[in-house]
């Protein structure tokens, strides 16, 4: 029998503003929008011109103010970059909740009907290790045996509301579904194949994270593919239709079976060459999924930027990555998935960057733009050499297994996500010479604190601590 879900929540629901990855509204107590809060050095131009973040637009450089006293405002980030207006509709759209939401379970098929969005039923992790959710179908005695989920006509937004559906093998999306929300089908380990219909406009971040996907068909009409959408899947090839306008952040990260991404020739925003993705103007290498053993990957002349985590993975030996004379900008974690036995070379005609001692620096050796793997010969230690004044945005992002960071006197600034995703333990001493540290420089650093001018700062929330 059909089981009607009463309208227990309000008719509108505020969906996650972190849809499709890095496009988030600022929540740092208003600090990020105030240029007077920014602390940086007068020579920080090198940092901003030789590094990049995961976002797709560039905010204007804020004015610089240096106060005379140490305050909590000394360590804050630059303003978040705004989402392009033309992508707001689906990237951050709020959908009215379906007041008439209902479901049936018959012969292993869960069918959900209604007019509007499915509410967000987040999982609840119990102290005993069990995971539950208040989704109405979760308590149904037949829920554990479902193998198919059908989203009926009228459903507009599919949310992360299916905790415990480990046996689902098939998903059917109706023609009214516009957005697949963040984590919607994460951990669906038995889901091997799916078709995204043309009516879907946005697939938000990590929608298929850690699922069993081996094949996906993305129909013409899909416009936005969010950060980490295919993370941890088993896809070997992905075809991107002409309608896609935004590959946000890095949709393909840790898709370790992926060897090629092919973009439709008529796509106006992206193109592909030999399975690697570039912007249409060929000025940015967005993603190179794999470099095989005994191969050389040559980044073409004319490319000016390596995107965020641009290299998916490389063979452990006999691989060379050649960078062009035109390269000026390297995204966060661009080389974090390469091997320590790879060889990175740069054109002798490049006047902007140099490769030295397992890192890439600005030509004047004052900015560490990107670390290579591994950065230091000392196991579990990052030692930034003397003379470096700026650590660029994302310079060490994604580098793991480091337990100690040694920063030199004379260092002046640490950029956004400079050490993001590195599982540090203990204390990091910041030299007194530093005048700017981005509030997100050391995110994901459990049990780690910064010691700076006698103050202690937590790595997650530098702007909140005194």
Q: Which residues contact 435 (CB under 8 A, 6 or more apart)?
A: 39, 40, 41, 66, 74, 412, 413
Q: What is the DSSP string of 342-398?
A: -EEEE-TT-SSEEEETTEEEETTS-EEEEE-SSS-SSTTEEEPPTT--EEPTTTTTT
Residue 343 pairs in a beta bridge with 320
pTM of the prediction?
0.77
User: Residue 132 pLDDT > 90, yes or no?
Assistant: no
User: Residue 153 pLDDT > 50, yes or no?
Assistant: yes
Tokens 């023609």 sit on residue:
175
Report the pLDDT value the prediction gives residue 63, as an integer from 0 to 100. 35
The residue-averaged pLDDT of 258-271 equals 97
Alpha carbon of residue 406 to chain centroid: 27
Q: What is the DSSP string of 384-452?
A: PPTT--EEPTTTTTT--S--EEE--TT--EE-TTTTTT----EEEEPPTT--EE-TTTTTT-TTEEEEE
Report the pLDDT value the prediction gives residue 433, as an integer from 0 to 100. 95
User: Residue 244 pLDDT > 70, yes or no?
Assistant: yes
Report the pLDDT value the prediction gives residue 405, as an integer from 0 to 100. 81
User: Residue 147 pLDDT > 50, yes or no?
Assistant: yes
User: Residue 43 pLDDT > 60, yes or no?
Assistant: no
Residue 355 pairs in a beta bridge with 360
The residue-averaged pLDDT of 424-433 equals 82
Count of CB atoms within 10 A of residue 139's CB?
10
Q: Which of 58-62, 296-300, 371-375 has the weakest average pLDDT?
A: 58-62
Alpha carbon of residue 315 to chain centroid: 23
What does the block give as tokens for 194? 């799916």
Taking alpha carbons only, the member of 438, 426, 430, 434 closest to residue 462 is: 438
User: Residue 252 pLDDT > 60, yes or no?
Assistant: yes
Tokens 């991107």 sit on residue:
240
d(CA 42, CA 63): 10
User: Residue 2 pLDDT > 80, yes or no?
Assistant: no
Confidence of residue 18 (pLDDT cuts 50, 70, 90): very low
Which range of 141-155, 377-391, 448-462 scores highest in mean pLDDT? It is 141-155
Q: Do 76 and 439 contact (CB within 8 A), yes or no? A: yes
Which tens digits make up the pLDDT trace of 277-303?
999 999 999 999 999 877 899 999 999
- 224-250 b/e (C-beta count within 10 Å ≥ 16 → b): bbbbbbbbbbbbeebebbebbbbbbbb
| Start-to-end C-alpha separation, the chain | 58
Which parts of 10-120 fold into alpha helices (H)?
45-50, 88-91
Q: Do 62 and 79 contact (CB within 8 A), yes or no? A: yes
What does the block give as tokens for 290? 């794999």
The bridge status of strand 455-458 relative to strand 448-452 is antiparallel
Q: Which of 54-68, 134-148, 307-321, 371-385 has the weakest average pLDDT?
A: 54-68
d(CA 324, CA 282): 13
User: Residue 28 pLDDT > 60, yes or no?
Assistant: no
User: Residue 45 pLDDT > 70, yes or no?
Assistant: no
Taking alpha carbons only, the member of 161, 61, 67, 90 closest to residue 453 is: 67
User: Residue 251 pLDDT > 70, yes or no?
Assistant: yes
Query: Is it true that the peptide bond before 307 is cis, omega within 30 degrees of 0?
Result: no
Report the pLDDT value the prediction gives residue 465, as an integer from 0 to 100. 40
Report the pLDDT value the prediction gives residue 58, as an integer from 0 to 100. 36
User: Residue 353 pLDDT > 80, yes or no?
Assistant: yes
Confidence of residue 86 (pLDDT cuts 50, 70, 90): low
Report the pLDDT value the prediction gives residue 426, as an integer from 0 to 100. 73
d(CA 62, CA 42): 12
Taking alpha carbons only, the member of 257, 254, 223, 256 closest to residue 240 is: 223
Count of CB atoms within 10 A of residue 77's CB?
22
The residue-averaged pLDDT of 354-363 equals 88
What percentage of the chain has pLDDT greater than the value 90? 49
The residue-averaged pLDDT of 225-246 equals 96
Report the pLDDT value the prediction gives residue 446, as an integer from 0 to 100. 64
Confidence of residue 131 (pLDDT cuts 50, 70, 90): low
d(CA 435, CA 251): 34
Residue 112 pairs in a beta bridge with 103, 151
- 350-363 b/e (C-beta count within 10 Å ≥ 16 → b): bebbbbeeebbbbe
Q: Which of 76-80, 242-246, 250-254, 429-433 has the weakest average pLDDT?
A: 76-80
Average pLDDT, the chain: 78
Sign of CA dihedral 298, 300, 306, 307: negative
What does the block give as tokens for 135? 């989704």
Confidence of residue 166 (pLDDT cuts 50, 70, 90): confident
Residue 103 pairs in a beta bridge with 3, 112
d(CA 452, CA 431): 7
Report the pLDDT value the prediction gives residue 231, as an integer from 0 to 100. 94
Q: What share of the chain is helix, strand, coil (3-state, %, to 5)?
A: 5, 30, 65
Q: Which of 212-216, 348-352, 356-360, 407-411 has the weakest average pLDDT?
A: 356-360
Query: Is it true that the peptide bond before 248 is cis, omega within 30 degrees of 0?
Result: no
Q: Which of 46-55, 241-250, 294-303, 304-313 has the weakest average pLDDT?
A: 46-55
Confidence of residue 374 (pLDDT cuts 50, 70, 90): low
Residue 282 Ramachandran class (φ > 0 left, ψ -120 to 50 alpha, else beta): left
d(CA 442, CA 367): 18
């Amino acid at each position: 029998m059909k089981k009607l879900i009463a309208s227990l929540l309000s008719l509108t629901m505020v969906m996650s503003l972190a849809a499709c990855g890095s496009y988030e509204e600022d929540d740092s107590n208003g600090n990020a929008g105030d240029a007077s809060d920014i602390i940086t050095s007068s020579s920080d131009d090198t940092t901003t011109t030789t590094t990049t973040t995961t976002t797709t637009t560039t905010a204007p450089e804020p004015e610089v103010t240096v106060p005379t006293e140490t305050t909590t405002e000394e360590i804050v980030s630059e303003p978040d970059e705004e989402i392009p207006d033309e992508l707001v509709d689906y990237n951050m759209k709020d959908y009215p909740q379906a007041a008439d939401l209902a479901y049936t379970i018959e012969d292993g098929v869960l069918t959900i009907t209604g007019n509007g969005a499915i509410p967000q039923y987040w999982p609840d992790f119990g102290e005993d290790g069990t995971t539950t959710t208040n989704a109405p179908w979760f308590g149904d005695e037949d829920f554990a045996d479902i193998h198919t989920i059908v989203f009926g006509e009228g459903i507009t937004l599919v949310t992360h509301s299916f905790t415990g559906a480990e046996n689902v093998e098939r998903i059917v999306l109706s023609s009214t579904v516009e957005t697949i929300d963040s984590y919607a089908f994460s951990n669906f380990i038995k889901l091997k194949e799916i078709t995204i219909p043309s009516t879907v406009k946005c697939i938000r971040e990590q929608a298929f994270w850690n699922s069993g996907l081996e094949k996906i068909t993305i129909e013409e009409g899909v416009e936005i593919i969010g950060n980490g959408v295919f993370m941890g899947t088993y896809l070997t090839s992905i075809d991107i239709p002409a309608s896609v306008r935004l590959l946000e952040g890095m949709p393909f990260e840790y898709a370790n079976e992926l060897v090629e991404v092919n973009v439709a020739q008529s796509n106006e925003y992206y193109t592909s060459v030999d399975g690697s993705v570039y912007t249409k103007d060929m000025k940015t290498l967005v993603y190179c999924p794999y470099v095989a053993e005994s191969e050389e990957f040559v980044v073409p002349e004319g490319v000016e930027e390596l995107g965020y985590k641009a290299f998916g993975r490389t063979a452990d030996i006999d691989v060379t990555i050649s960078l062009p004379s035109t390269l000026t900008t390297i995204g966060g974690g661009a080389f974090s998935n390469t091997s320590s036995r790879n060889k990175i070379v740069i054109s002798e005609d490049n006047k902007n960057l140099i490769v030295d001692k397992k890192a890439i620096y600005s030509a004047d050796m004052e900015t560490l733009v990107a670390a290579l793997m591994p950065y230091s010969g000392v196991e579990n230690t990052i030692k930034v050499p003397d003379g470096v004044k700026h650590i660029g945005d994302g310079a060490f992002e994604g580098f793991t297994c480091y337990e100690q960071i040694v920063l030199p006197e004379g260092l002046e600034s640490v950029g956004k996500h400079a050490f993001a995703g590195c599982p540090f333990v203990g204390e990091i001493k910041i030299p007194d010479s530093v005048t700017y540290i981005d509030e997100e420089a050391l995110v994901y650093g459990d049990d780690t604190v910064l010691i700076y001018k006698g103050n202690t700062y937590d790595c997650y929330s530098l702007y909140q601590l005194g």
